[in-house]
Chain A
Amino acid sequence: MIDFLNSIIVLLNFIIIPGITYGSQLAIGALGVTFVYAILRFANFAHGEIMSFGAMITILFTWFFQSQNIGLGILPTALIALPIGIVATIILCIISDKFVFQYYRYQKSVPVVLAMVSIGVMFVINAIIRIIIGTETIKFSDGQKFIMKAKQFKVMTGLNEGLALKSSQVITILITIALLTFTFWFLQKTKTGKSMRAFSDNEDLALLSGINPDRVVFITWVIVGVLACVAGTLYGLDKSYKPIIYLNLVLPIFASAIVGGIGSPFGAVVGGYVIAFSEIMVTYAYKKFFVYILPSSLEPSGLVQLLSTDYKFAVSFSILVIVLLIRPSGIFKGRVL
């Protein structure tokens, strides 16, 4: 029995909690990509850099608040700076739309052209971030680092295995729940949300029934800004902020959005968790788990690891390819592409 509990704790500590945290970050990111895809109908390669921009503004204001000795005690200071970051990200999104994307929308350009344009935007934002903050790795989480340390847990329960719970993980999960609830409530219950869904479903019919396309696009960019900034900041808070990482993060985010069914918000969220869990589960060494759960005669000799951790990023694309082969519309039927 104790062994069984121990094995569960091992799974919780190394797979489930990190999986949920990373999955939440991917889910919020993928939700942003999905919104752009569903309303504006292009694959936004700049999304990673928008996330990075939001995180950067948050970091700059975190530093400012820290220098002014304003803080939240045990919670990280970044939480006060986050709203300012969100506003800045929204402004960035609106500016990029006004000066760049709008022209192609009015021209009714094909999606590939818009994707190319978003690459241009990606380069520009990328440069702005690097010019402002450099390329160094930045740790900006302060306050209490752990809610529960592995040692405390061992003493408390008397088990062999410890369960560590970082405060950044709990914050990530709580904020994700709040944000997702709000987004889905907004989409399902409010008039604006409904008009957005109608616009995504059938643009001509939506225009015919008097929905103002410019307003829908504006609201979309606001939501995308909020989602991107929160996702970027949470990722930076949990791991650490490094501008170069966000470009690599774009691909798992795209993978999440496509695996879940592109254009479907719920699918994007599920896809985020699918990608995160498969990345972690495929590259985790299960030896410790089997040592507890199997009788000692059957104990495995190797690490019981499917793939080395080096291939973490490759896993998400492999899943993407497999899903495309088996079910091109994604898990939750999005648009068939």
Chain B
Amino acid sequence: MKFEKYEWVAIAIMVSLFIFVGFIQGWSVSLVILNMCIISAIMTMGVNISWGYAGVINFGVMGFLAMGGLAAVIVSYPPITESWKAGGTGIGVSFILLVILVTAVMYINKTVTDKRNRYIFNSIFIIFGILVIRHFYLDATESIEDVNPAIAGFLGGLGLPIIFSWIVGGFFAAGVAFIIGKVALGLRSDYLAIVTLGISEIVVSVLKHEEWLSRGVKNVIGLKRPVPYEINLQNTDWFINLITYLNSSKLNNIVDVSDRQQVLNNLIIDGSGIFVKLSYAVLFLIVMFIIFYFANKAQLSPWGRMMRAIRDNETAANAMGKDVVKQHLIIFVIGAAIVGVAGAMLVTLDGLFTPSGYRPLRFTFIIWIMVIVGGSGNNLGAIFGGFIIWFSWIEAAPLTTFIINQLTAGLEPTNAFKLHLLDSVPYFRYLFMGLILLLILRYRPKGIIPEKVRHS
């Protein structure tokens, strides 16, 4: 694809930001921010596909991220056989019963035409079914949670490499999105926002409290990495040789052997950290480019044109014979799947899964600010928004400290007002986010890199 001039400027800004931070605050900090920026960019692309292409609002970002995170746990954590023995059958039986119940309800919905009878049958079946399922389910979960609760207490996972979870996470999120879409799509957009926000809260609270599945608030730690560990790198010959080669001029200047060894050791420790972060960045960048490539292809395809038509005029698209409801569902599920991939990547990067860490302010609203600021309907804009907003979210604190110190330079260091302001530095980032969003919505409502209007 071809970029316009201003798009090249945007790319240049993104790259130079990280080089700048690399020189000022160190390359390690720069790479940490870069990794999160890439993940944010992928989330933003996911939301942008449903909102920017088709105008389907998705405020359930947090829930889909959490589903991706769950996928990372289930794929990579080694299976806990004792838990399976203790409660596996119970969980299996309740799952089969649940499937039967859902089929029964769907069957009733299809066959019983009278509205009142349908409600009565449905409620009888659902209440009775839930009581039966509870009987098996509660026993099973209790016995699973009793297995070695200090380190296990859940079913564990499949023990596969965590990188597979990026795909599985997409499918998990897509599954949840399919159910949500079936229930809620078709509502007016601001209404849909509230409903998806609510359902994402339900998803997170299930993950928080179903300990047999996700270990709940006890968190899952020590997930295996897709990249080497620092400590292993420090003892590998080729890595030591690489570092020695890269810094040969600096090392040759030191004459004393023990001094030289000391400097080399420090360089290796620093270098291993940077190497690990760099490998993450490379993996993430690959995923980002793949998604970016296909998202752009899709946008330029006839399917993308149909989506724009549906967004701009639903009635007209419907009149042309396009199944609006079905297409809305498809694009909602695709968007959610991409967010799920990002969720799995997020847990991979952290190496731990903390269900209580999923908060709407951080994982839904910030992502939406990224979409709006970057420019809805433009994938490069989405990436740009993800980078810029995450960057300012992180760099807001040092910047605020600097500004406060400048403004209150005349005050004494023990001044209560000054101390209070310095204490509340972490909260200024919310102020910045709000102001950025309001300013963009006011003066550049299409975002920094707006959607390109094509006449072809």
Contact = CB atoms under 8 A, between A and B. Distances in A.
Given A310-B208, A313-B201, A324-B184, A112 B189 contact: yes
Contacts of B198: 251, 254-255, 316-317, 320-321
B9 interface: no
B194 interface: yes
B67 to A, nearest CB: 16
Contact of B434 (A114, A115, A122, A255): A122
A43 B187 contact: no
B201 A314 contact: yes
Sort chain B's interface into a size bin. Answer: 35 or more
Contacts of A337: 187-188, 191
Interface string A103-124: 1000000111111110111111
A58 interface: no
A138 interface: no
Given A113-B445, A325-B183, A119 B194 contact: no
A117 B443 CA distance: 12
Contacts of A125: 434
A130 interface: yes
17 contacts: A43-B194, A117-B438, A119-B365, A119-B437, A124-B434, A124-B435, A126-B430, A131-B428, A134-B423, A310-B208, A311-B205, A313-B205, A314-B201, A318-B202, A320-B194, A328-B187, A337-B188
Contacts of A326: 119
Nearest to B57: A112
A6 to B, nearest CB: 27
A120 B208 contact: no
B193 A123 contact: no
B16 interface: no
**Pairs of residues from A and B, 4 with the lowest C-beta to C-beta distance, nearest first:** A123-B434, A317-B198, A127-B431, A124-B434
A308 interface: yes
Given A42-B190, A127-B427, A317-B202, A120 B434 contact: yes
Given A247-B360, A337-B187, 10 more contacts: A119-B437, A120-B369, A122-B365, A131-B421, A131-B428, A134-B424, A311-B205, A317-B201, A317-B202, A324-B183
Interface of A: 42-43, 100, 103, 110-117, 119-128, 130-131, 134-135, 247, 251, 254-255, 258, 308, 310-311, 313-314, 316-318, 320-321, 324-326, 328, 337
B128 to A, nearest CB: 14
A321 B183 contact: yes
Nearest to A107: B445
Contacts of A131: 421, 424, 427-428, 431
A116 B206 CA distance: 28
A128 B431 contact: yes
A155 to B, nearest CB: 39
A254 B197 CA distance: 11
Contacts of B188: 111, 337
Contacts of B184: 321, 324
Contacts of B187: 324, 328, 337
B268 to A, nearest CB: 41
Contacts of A313: 201, 205
A314 B368 contact: no
B5 interface: no
Nearest to A46: B434
B366 to A, nearest CB: 9
Interface of B: 57, 119, 183-184, 187-191, 193-195, 197-199, 201-202, 205-206, 208-209, 360-361, 365, 368-369, 372, 421, 423-424, 427-431, 433-435, 437-438, 441-442, 445
A162 B31 CA distance: 61
Contacts of A321: 183-184, 195, 198-199
A127 B437 contact: no
Nearest to B372: A116
A115 B193 contact: yes
A117 B441 contact: yes
Contacts of B369: 119-120, 123
Contacts of B194: 43, 251, 254, 258, 320
B199 A120 contact: no
Nearest to A319: B198
A95 to B, nearest CB: 13
A228 to B, nearest CB: 18
B52 to A, nearest CB: 13
A296 to B, nearest CB: 23
Contact of B441 (A120, A247, A254, A258): A120
A247 to B, nearest CB: 6
Contacts of A128: 431
A3 to B, nearest CB: 26
B434 A43 contact: no
